[in-house]
Amino acid sequence: MKSRNFRLAPAVAVAAGLLFAGTAGAAVAAPSDESPPPASSAPSEEAHADWKPGAWYDDEAACKKAGEQGKKDNKWREYRCKREERHPGQYDYQWHLYYRA
């Protein structure tokens, strides 16, 4: 009788482990009960129609210098410098000045 219990113990332990692993995995994979965060009502900055593209610059310092000069000369009230690929697919990244009046 003892030998039969010893043979069943590993099988029971394996079954219990699989059962626990299955429920733990299901709990992780299940979607949360919380509702998803609401989508932002404001469009992204790039989508704003009032941001206009300006010139391209080789480095960030030159872009910011031109942006500050444009503010000083009252050409625009805000500017942003963004590193972008100038010609898609050619991996030629430069700094692009965007401004809004």
pLDDT in tens, 48-75: 569 999 999 999 999 999 999 999 999 9
Phi, psi of 47 (to 5 degrees): -85, -15
Specify burial of residue 50 (Cβ count, 10 A radius: 0-12, 13-18, 19+): exposed
Q: Which residues pair with 51 in a beta bridge?
A: none
Task: Say if CB 95 and CB 60 are below 8 A apart.
Answer: yes
Model pTM score: 0.52
CA distance 95 to 59: 6
Residue type, 22: G
